[in-house]
Amino acid sequence: MYKKILVTLDRTRTDRAIVEHIKDLAKLLQSQVVLLHVATGVPAKYHRSDAAGKEIEESRTYLDKVCSEFVAAGVAAESELAYGEPAAEIIKWINQKGCDLVAMSTHGHKFVADLLLGTTAIHVQHGVSVPVLLLRAKQARN
């Protein structure tokens, strides 16, 4: 059903929800997983793939760590780092490389906050023609 699943990561706690969900789904369906993070700092926006620095190093390390989790669980996985504005880069990646499903965690903002702030998930959902799985991350309790 889903041969290639794109999992977008933003290097926050919300990633855990989608990682765990897709790890099980991909294993069940024998899907390939591609993990995508978009670096958004000034070097990434202006220097794109030539960007360097702490954000880029930490992003690559994070992607490698999460990719290793999938491989250890028996899921074929690879990772890619993009540079710039997240929604635009995710949509561009999907249009150029293709996938059967996009999987994203959401922060769970309220509707008004989503309208005011705009969300990557909303832009992606309306910008692609493949199914988008949005999984709301659980809020931490104090």
User: Where along the chain do its domains lie?
Assistant: 4-136
Mean pLDDT confidence for 80-105? 94
- Give the Cα separation of 76 and 70 in Å (integer): 7
What is the CATH T-level fold of the domain 4-136, as seen in this structure?
Answer: Rossmann fold (3.40.50)
pTM of the model: 0.85
Work out whether strand 101-106 and strand 132-136 pair parallel, antiparallel, or are unpaired. parallel
- Residues 6-32 have a mean pLDDT of 95
**Between these two residues, 76 and 13, which has the higher pLDDT value?**
76
d(CA 87, CA 66) in angstroms, rounded, equals 21
What pLDDT, on the 0 to 100 scale, is given for residue 43?
A: 58
Q: Which residues contact 125 (CB under 8 A, 6 or more apart)?
A: 132, 134
Across 95-103, average pLDDT: 95
What pLDDT is stored for residue 109 in this prediction?
54
pLDDT at 141: 45
pLDDT in tens, 39-92: 886 555 655 565 557 777 888 999 999 999 999 999 999 999 998 899 999 999
**pLDDT tens by residue, 25-40:** 999 999 999 999 998 8
Q: Look at residues 127, 82, 131, 74 and name the one whose alpha carbon lies nearest to residue 102.
A: 131
Burial of 31 (C-beta count, 10 Å sphere; 0-12/13-18/19+): buried
Cα pseudo-dihedral 64, 120, 50, 101, rounded to 10? 50
